[in-house]
Amino acid sequence: AQTVTQSQPEMSVQEAETVTLSCTYDTSESDYYLFWYKQPPSRQMILVIRQEAYKQQNATENRFSVNFQKAAKSFSLKISDSQLGDAAMYFCAYRSMGSQGNLIFGKGTKLSVKP
């Protein structure tokens, strides 16, 4: 079975600085999706970024980018120019290809942003 590990329960960053959140996963599959979701205090789950495993290019969405290392099974999220609104729980998630692939979540990293 696939597993997702986020080794940093809490992180802190100064406003305007850069922070990297770590995620590793375990799978025997070659094709899959990886995601980062943000959960602010409103508890809404918001998709931050997605990566298809067959794509070698790292995904980027504005200030958010990932470092996808398929061989190492690592999927870290980099937030540049951190803003107060980035403070939230961040969840890394894995999903197999195919209609019956369920999303498997890590336990989350709580990010604080200091003004």
DSSP of 88-114, one letter per residue? EEEEEEEEESSTTPPEEE---EEEEEE
In the list 14, 17, 26, 47, the residue contacting another protein (rule: CB under 8 A) is: 47
Strand 10-14 with 109-114, pairing: parallel
Residue 16 or 45: which CB sits closer to another protein?
45
If one asks whether residue 16 binds another protein (CB under 8 A), the answer comes out as: no
Q: Residue 80: CB partners within 8 Å, gap ≥ 6? A: 18, 63, 64, 65
Residue 3 or 115: which CB sits closer to another protein?
3
Q: How far is the CB of 14 from another protein (least distance, A)?
A: 26
If one asks whether residue 7 binds another protein (CB under 8 A), the answer comes out as: no
Per the CB < 8 A criterion, the answer to whether 78 and 66 are in contact is yes
CB atoms within 10 A of CB 2: 15
Per-residue binder mask for another protein (CB under 8 A), 69-108, x = binder: ----------------------x---x-xxxx-xxxxxxx
Find tokens 């942003």 and name the residue.
113
Binding site for another protein (CB under 8 A): 9, 33, 35, 42-45, 47, 50, 91, 95, 97-100, 102-108
